[in-house]
Amino acid sequence: MATSDPPMPMSAIDLHMHSTASDGRLAPAAVVERAAARGVELMALTDHDTLGGIAEAQAAARRQGIRCLAGIELSARWARGVVHIVGLDIDPSHPALAMGVTAQQAERRRRAARIGERLERAGMKGIAARATELVGEGVPGRAHFARALVADGVVRDMQSAFDRYLQRGRPGYAAVEWAGIEQVVDWIHAAGGVAVFAHPLRYRLSRGALRAAIQAFVTAGGTSIEVSNGGGGRDDLVAAAALARRFGLSASMGSDFHDPDFRWVEIGRLAPIPGDLTPVWTSMEGVA
Ligand code: AMP
Ligand code: MN
Ligand code: MN
Ligand code: MN
């Protein structure tokens, strides 16, 4: 965020956050407790390619008296890269979605093994074991490898871990065959959910390539885009709102919270959605 931006207001709605079920630092129940303590009334847990945290989060939400939508953030193949599609208000037990998630997890497992091999070959002994230790029950993602590289003193912070080791073209990069955008949107719709094109300004795509990716999402039947996001500043919000108008998409808002130590992203710290856009939750049964 630029230093000239005004302080972010608190939002009672936050539809994008992570737990230890994927690469977040807090257990699902702790994420919900933090959300409730910060005044969030409607949230969604949206872990990467897993439904593993939802039951715990929803049980905690019942105790806290807030609403927690079942969600997921699916990685989707786009051209030679990846975009993230958030599914909101899904049925986590739907077999088509569950099978898709199983396939994505298998890809993650394959990739984790390759990242481990590549980093070990580059001299980082024991890094795979360290990443596995850090992840607990799930599959190590790039964030876990980044934390392992920081823990081993190889790099100073996660950003350097990505820049020097984990980004495409770096020694610890391994390609992944994610499902395509159309497939991912189909899984979300099969499970009764709403598909949201996540953090549109965070991909390293040209303006034309970004529009083409969103067009592919719209052609697949996707109906919403994340307009207000925890990481971006005012310019990103204005650009994302323009994309929502251009493609006739409803607007979502979510912090993408991962870690209490990342001070610049916090649950509920979100700019409001511009008044002319349709909020994504207005189409959801029993919400707002
Ligand atoms: P993966 O889905 O395993 O490829 O990992 C992607 C995740 O890594 C993102 O969701 C972020 O949580 C994290 N990530 C990506 N780039 C960075 C970065 N530069 N610094 C810190 N975390 C990052
Ligand atoms: Mn993440
Ligand atoms: Mn993402
Ligand atoms: Mn996310």
Q: Tell me the CA–centroid distance for residue 62 and ligand 1, in Å.
A: 30
Q: Decide if 191 contacts 89 (C-beta within 8 A).
A: no
Q: What is the residue with the minimal CA distance to atom 12 of ligand 1?
A: 143
The Å distance, Cα 67 to ligand 3 centre, comes to 22
Token pair in block for residue 159: 């950003």
Look at ligand 1, atom 4, and give the residue with the nearest C-alpha.
142
The pTM for the full model equals: 0.96
CA distance linking residue 110 with residue 174, whole number of Å? 9
**What percent of the chain is modeled with pLDDT above 70?**
97
Mutate to test the pocket of ligand 1, among 20, 23, 72, 114 (most ligand atoms within 8 A of CB): 23
Percentage of the chain lying above the pLDDT 90 cut: 91
pLDDT tens digits, one per residue of 132-146: 999 988 899 999 999
Q: What is the mean pLDDT of residues 184-202?
A: 98
Q: What is the DSSP letter of 280?
A: G
As a whole number of angstroms, the distance between CA 246 and CA 185 comes to: 20
Residue 48 has what pLDDT? Answer: 98
Ligand 1 atom with least separation from CA of 23: 12
Alpha carbon of 75 to ligand 3 centroid (Å): 8
Helix (H, G, I), strand (E, B) or coil at 267: coil
Nearest to 25 by CA among 261, 247, 271: 261
**Beta strand ranges found along the chain (DSSP E):** 13-14, 42-45, 67-78, 81-88, 194-197, 224-229, 250-254
pLDDT tens column, 239-270 = 999 999 999 999 999 999 999 999 899 999 99
Q: Which two tokens stand for residue 152?
A: 């081993």
Rounded to an integer, the average pLDDT of 219-240 is 96
d(CA 127, CA 113): 11
Residues 252, 88: contact at Cβ < 8 Å? yes
* Cα 59 to Cα 143: distance, rounded to the nearest angstrom: 27
The confidence score (pLDDT) of residue 168 equals 93
Atom of ligand 1 minimally distant from the CA of 143: 8
**Residue 48 Cβ contacting ligand 1 at under 6 Å:** yes
16 alpha carbon to ligand 3 midpoint, in Å?
9
- Please give the angle made by the CA atoms of 66, 288 and 251, to the nearest 5 degrees: 105
Say yes or no to pLDDT of 283 above 90. no
Q: How many Å apart are CA 156 and CA 243, to the nearest integer?
A: 36
82 vs 117, 204, 205, CA distance in Å? 22, 10, 10
Q: Is 23 in the pocket of ligand 1 (CB under 6 A)?
A: yes
Ranges of beta strands (E only) in 118-249 are 194-197, 224-229
Decide: 159 in ligand 1 pocket, CB within 6 A.
Answer: yes
Question: What are the backbone dihedrals phi and psi of residue 64, each rounded to the nearest 5 degrees, phi first?
Answer: -85, -10
